[in-house]
Amino acid sequence: MVRELTDTNFDQETASGLTLVDFWATWCGPCRMQSPVIDELNEESDGSVDYFKMDVDANQATPSKFGIMSIPTLLVTKDGEVVDKLIGYHSKEQIEAALVKHK
């Protein structure tokens, strides 16, 4: 299961390794399309990537810190540093291609 992040635990959870964070909201149609793709990637993961979701309505400080103005936005971090940002809906293949560049 994809874990939920909050403003409180974001830095700690993304501090090491490769992570993908899905910034979303319940009212966002494209976010509801993106969510199953993230869930599928997580289920098929070999453990080399940690998958997270963050509700932008409940957690506003972190999206603001990273300049997230549109959702869904997928933030890829490696050892706490942002290495990629994907804005809008992306297919499984597009996300995999973005992640493989940073493994």
- The whole-angstrom separation of Cα 55 and Cα 57 is 6
| Active-site hit among 2, 5, 31, 37 | 31
Secondary structure of residue 60 in the 3-state scheme: coil
- The whole-angstrom separation of Cα 66 and Cα 39 is 23
Instruction: Identify the bridge partners of residue 50 per DSSP, sorted by sequence position.
Output: 19
Q: Catalytic: 72?
A: no
| Active-site hit among 17, 18, 25, 28 | 28
Q: Catalytic: 28?
A: yes
Tokens of 91: 């297919």
Q: Catalytic amino acids? A: 28, 31
